[in-house]
A and B are shown apart, each in its own frame.
Chain A
Amino acid sequence: QQQVKQSPQSLIVQKGGISIINCAYENTAFDYFPWYQQFPGKGPALLIAIRPDVSEKKEGRFTISFNKSAKQFSLHIMDSQPGDSATYFCAATSNFNKFYFGSGTKLNVKP
């Protein structure tokens, strides 16, 4: 049983558009929700993260929206650029113990 469900599996966006990736979880004990970005041939790297006591966190063009009651969180990439083309993983953890990852979203930003 997957602890974190992620959608869509792939996403094509035009340059300058908004990319939106969604994740949902069931375990209410999760208290930290990071997003990782992975380029081909590389390991995942932390992009942005949020705790459930806030509903939104923004860092540059990247924003996490968090809905605690719905147990959902999403990543928004504003003004998407070809350099953003990568695979994105959401994750969740409780007390920074085990990290559970979503299945990943392959983003392709077309010039």
Chain B
Amino acid sequence: NAGVTQTPKFQVLKTGQSMTLQCAQDMNHNSMYWYRQDPGMGLRLIYYSASEGTTDKGEVPNGYNVSRLNKREFSLRLESAAPSQTSVYFCASRAVNTEAFFGQGTRLTVV
């Protein structure tokens, strides 16, 4: 049982480059989330999707876009990466009235 799978695990981008972080879950969960984790800041919600076909902004959405491709997959896109987006990104999913399950994270460095 893979749970929540994120790809890639590591990425280095140059300022201005674009990339998409992929997330897939095999638990048939309705809701999916993207968080970023920075030292001393905890986990901050970027975007979430309460169900297939819907997406909503979280606390720090600027500079990001998301796509809920289907029930399994929820991608995060950086159109023009900035050094301030250097972070560890976590995808999570949950079923109704349950806790969130997290992926292993993507460590992104923007130089």
Contacts and interface: CB of A to CB of B under 8 A. Distances in A.
Interface of A: 2, 4, 6, 9, 34, 36, 41-46, 49, 89, 96-104
B4 A103 contact: no
Nearest to A96: B97
Given A43-B90, A43-B105, A98-B45, A49 B40 contact: no
A10 to B, nearest CB: 10
A96 B102 contact: no
Contacts of B41: 103
18 contacts: A2-B42, A42-B104, A43-B105, A46-B99, A46-B100, A46-B101, A89-B42, A96-B94, A97-B50, A98-B48, A98-B58, A99-B33, A99-B45, A99-B100, A100-B45, A102-B42, A104-B40, A104-B42
Nearest to B9: A41
Nearest to B40: A103
Interface size classification for chain B:
20 to 34
Interface of B: 4, 33, 35, 40-45, 48, 50, 58, 90, 92, 94, 96-105
Contacts of A34: 99
A101 B42 contact: yes
Residue with the greatest number of chain A CB neighbours at <10 A, chosen from B40, B42, B43, B104: B42
Nearest to A47: B99
A75 to B, nearest CB: 15
A43 B42 contact: no
Contacts of A100: 45
B42 A103 contact: yes
